[in-house]
Protein backbone atom coordinates (compact mmCIF):
# COMPACT_ATOMS: atom_id res chain seq x y z
CA UNK A 1 0.00 0.00 0.00
CA UNK A 2 1.36 3.40 -0.93
CA UNK A 3 1.26 6.53 1.16
CA UNK A 4 -1.04 8.18 -1.39
CA UNK A 5 -3.57 5.36 -0.97
CA UNK A 6 -3.70 5.63 2.81
CA UNK A 7 -3.49 9.43 3.07
CA UNK A 8 -7.30 9.94 3.24
CA UNK A 9 -7.52 7.36 6.03
CA UNK A 10 -4.64 9.03 7.88
CA UNK A 11 -6.43 12.38 7.65
CA UNK A 12 -9.60 10.79 9.05
CA UNK A 13 -7.63 9.12 11.85
CA UNK A 14 -6.08 12.48 12.75
CA UNK A 15 -9.49 14.17 12.82
CA UNK A 16 -10.95 11.36 14.96
CA UNK A 17 -8.10 11.61 17.46
CA UNK A 18 -8.53 15.39 17.57
CA UNK A 19 -12.23 14.99 18.42
CA UNK A 20 -11.38 12.63 21.28
CA UNK A 21 -8.76 15.03 22.65
CA UNK A 22 -11.20 17.95 22.44
CA UNK A 23 -13.85 15.94 24.32
CA UNK A 24 -11.49 16.02 27.33
CA UNK A 25 -10.51 19.67 26.87
CA UNK A 26 -12.68 21.24 29.59
CA UNK A 27 -12.93 18.19 31.82
CA UNK A 28 -11.11 17.75 35.10
CA UNK A 29 -8.59 15.04 34.33
CA UNK A 30 -6.48 12.86 36.51
CA UNK A 31 -2.83 13.35 35.72
CA UNK A 32 -0.13 10.73 36.21
CA UNK A 33 3.56 11.49 36.12
CA UNK A 34 5.68 9.51 33.67
CA UNK A 35 9.15 8.27 34.59
CA UNK A 36 10.66 11.37 32.97
CA UNK A 37 8.52 13.56 35.28
CA UNK A 38 6.20 14.80 32.52
CA UNK A 39 2.42 14.63 32.88
CA UNK A 40 0.25 11.95 31.27
CA UNK A 41 -3.53 12.43 31.12
CA UNK A 42 -6.41 10.14 30.20
CA UNK A 43 -6.71 12.16 26.98
CA UNK A 44 -3.05 11.37 26.21
CA UNK A 45 -3.61 7.68 26.81
CA UNK A 46 -6.78 7.54 24.73
CA UNK A 47 -5.19 9.49 21.86
CA UNK A 48 -2.19 7.16 21.91
CA UNK A 49 -4.46 4.11 21.84
CA UNK A 50 -6.45 5.42 18.86
CA UNK A 51 -3.32 6.42 16.92
CA UNK A 52 -1.63 3.05 17.44
CA UNK A 53 -4.78 1.06 16.64
CA UNK A 54 -5.42 3.13 13.52
CA UNK A 55 -1.85 2.90 12.22
CA UNK A 56 -1.71 -0.84 12.93
CA UNK A 57 -4.95 -1.30 10.99
CA UNK A 58 -3.70 0.73 8.02
CA UNK A 59 -0.11 -0.52 7.97
CA UNK A 60 0.17 -3.73 10.00
CA UNK A 61 3.76 -4.39 8.90
CA UNK A 62 5.14 -1.01 9.96
CA UNK A 63 6.48 -0.50 13.48
CA UNK A 64 5.30 2.47 15.54
CA UNK A 65 7.48 4.59 17.80
CA UNK A 66 5.39 6.74 20.09
CA UNK A 67 6.01 9.09 22.98
CA UNK A 68 3.56 7.07 25.09
CA UNK A 69 4.79 3.61 24.08
CA UNK A 70 6.84 1.45 26.37
CA UNK A 71 10.52 1.93 25.80
CA UNK A 72 11.91 -0.69 23.45
CA UNK A 73 15.52 -1.61 22.93
CA UNK A 74 17.19 -0.94 19.59
CA UNK A 75 17.12 -4.68 18.89
CA UNK A 76 13.37 -4.84 19.52
CA UNK A 77 12.72 -1.81 17.33
CA UNK A 78 14.94 -2.98 14.49
CA UNK A 79 13.98 -6.65 14.43
CA UNK A 80 10.23 -6.18 14.52
CA UNK A 81 7.87 -5.21 11.77
CA UNK A 82 9.36 -3.69 8.67
CA UNK A 83 8.92 -3.65 4.93
CA UNK A 84 12.04 -3.63 2.80
CA UNK A 85 14.06 -1.11 4.68
CA UNK A 86 13.43 -0.28 8.29
CA UNK A 87 10.24 1.80 8.22
CA UNK A 88 8.59 3.26 11.32
CA UNK A 89 5.69 5.53 12.07
CA UNK A 90 6.69 8.14 14.62
CA UNK A 91 3.53 9.20 16.40
CA UNK A 92 3.04 12.20 18.64
CA UNK A 93 -0.33 13.26 19.89
CA UNK A 94 -1.37 16.89 19.79
CA UNK A 95 -1.21 18.36 23.29
pLDDT at 85 > cutoff 60: no
The number of domains in the chain is 1
pLDDT of residue 93: 60
pLDDT at 67 > cutoff 80: no
- pLDDT tens digits, 11-34: 999 999 999 888 887 777 677 777
pLDDT of residue 84: 43
More confident residue, 80 or 18: 18
Side-chain-facing half-sphere of 6: CA atoms under 13 Å: 13
Look up the pTM and report it: 0.70
Interhelix angle for 3-23 vs 42-58, to 10°? 160
Query: Where in 1-95 does DSSP place strands (E)?
Result: 31-33, 39-41, 63-66, 88-91
Give the domain CATH number at 17: 3.30.540.10
Range of the domain at 23: 3-91
Amino acid sequence: MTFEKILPQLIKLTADVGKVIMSFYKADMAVEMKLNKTPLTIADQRAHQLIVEGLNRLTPNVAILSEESDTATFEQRSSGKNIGWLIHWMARKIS
